[in-house]
Amino acid sequence: MNYEKLPKTISAEELLSTPLPPVKWIIPDLLPAGLALFAGPSKAGKSWLTLWLCLQVAQGKPMWGREIEPHTVLYLSLEDTFNRLQKRLLQLVGSEEAPERLVMQTECGSIGQGLEEQLTSFLYQHPDTGLIVIDTLQKVRSSDQNNSMYASDYKEISALKALADKYNVCILLIHHLRKQAADDPFQQIAGSNGLMGASDTSWVMQRKRMSQTASILVTGRDMDNKTLRLHEENCVWILDEEEST
């Protein structure tokens, strides 16, 4: 009789006695390795904040009162041109400080159509990579509509989560909010609950158009819920207050 090989099992006793590595933090208590989702309104400043975040991680500079270990960062800025990225870099750091550890692309394959292979190749070439940013998620979605929205969302996001878990890196997906209001801000994330369900960490940015202040709500499997209150200063978002719940 043929028996299908089952996945490896472990008893609770063995698990409790097994030393396991701690959570790898890209930004302590805010952004661990794994799959992360950062959603906010259109034209709210997500891309500016994301580029600055990438610079801080690549340079190992503090962010929002937290010390950061430097890592190679891959920033897939799929809605921008190199010309626009150059202007933003000059405004944020100038021509002398831009780190070699920040690598940028403006095009790539889609999920299930070459993206995973491209990311795997990059990770082999840059084994010190800690963060991969995909700006935006919609740019790497496939057009397959055979399944329900929840099933499609969960399947695609899970493919990226598997990659993040295998190589112990953070893959941060930049995404949009739907226009409809909701009592729970995380319910405003565009798409189905499958996106947040498959993510380890979720950030939601709240900002009124043209306002110099914003809030970022943070939730995740490896941290307490947090609210960060920020203000914008020379295209950099400065932390004013932080609350944990």
Q: Are 173 and 38 contacting, i.e. CB atoms less than 8 angstroms apart?
A: yes
Among 24, 46, 84, smallest CA distance to 230 is for 46
Task: Write down the pTM of the prediction.
Answer: 0.91
Res 34: pLDDT: 96
pLDDT, mean of each 10-residue run, the chain (245 residues): 70 88 94 95 87 95 95 96 92 78 94 94 97 93 69 86 96 88 80 82 89 93 93 92 92
d(CA 17, CA 5): 25
Give the CA angle between residues 227, 42, 165 to the nearest 5°. 60
Give the fold, CATH level 3, of 23-211: Rossmann fold (3.40.50)
Residue 8: what pLDDT?
80
